[in-house]
Amino acid sequence: MSLFGLTNRNHKTFRPKKSAQSGSKGAQLKKHIDATLGSGNLREAVRLPPGEDLHEWLAVNTVDFFNQVNILYGTLTEFCTPSSCPTMSAGPKYEYRWADGVNIKKPIEVSAPKYVDYLMGWIETQLDDESIFPQNLGAPFPSNFQDVVKTIFKRLFRVYAHIYHSHFQKIISLKEEAHMNTCFKHFVLFTWEFRLIDKAELAPLYELVESILQR
């Protein structure tokens, strides 16, 4: 099993997998990511490669992390239901309400699966929008690109927080905990390297985040 591979039994995606821009700088950077991840050194893998464009690096990694969370949550869709998870929570102190600022402007309380559906759909819309994530090499990124990326990562973190607080025993029973922990470690190191998530947002998993950063 590869570092980020899942067994065939559980290789379900919640939504269709996204791929890096074909024939573009993104595809080249994806090869670099795969090569450095294969070395097992996650701290090295998250760093901006010398001479590369920061926005290109953020873009291709955003697609990668979307896919990782997509697959992880896909293994849990039969267990994360409106009846088992009527709210999108990360423990008793943290509950997330959904708003996208466009179709739903006032935050609404929804079940965890509905929240994740909204969230992943919103991220997909951003990834498919070429004015935000340009497909062609050399095409400019928008001035608010890093803000969009930060919002994506903040929301992906919430899926991790929900899984760890509500479904980790199921992850263990599926024998996916090592895979999930590695994915989350990679996610934390990347967000920390580029300051993508405010410290306050990390509170539901802060002890775990601290242990990753201090290793």
**Contacts of residue 212, Cβ cutoff 8 Å, sequence gap at least 6:** 184, 185, 188, 189
What percent of the chain lies above the pLDDT cut of 90?
66
DSSP β-bridge partners for residue 98: 108
Structure tokens at 109: 């309380």
Domain ranges of the chain: 8-214
User: Using one digit for the tens of pLDDT, what is the confidence trace for 174-203?
Assistant: 998 888 999 999 999 999 999 999 999 999
What digits encode the pLDDT tens for the residues 14-48?
555 555 554 455 666 566 566 655 556 888 889 99
**Tokens describing residue 197:** 């998530």
Highest CATH level, class, for 8-214 = mainly alpha
For the cut 80, the answer to whether the pLDDT of residue 156 exceeds it is: yes
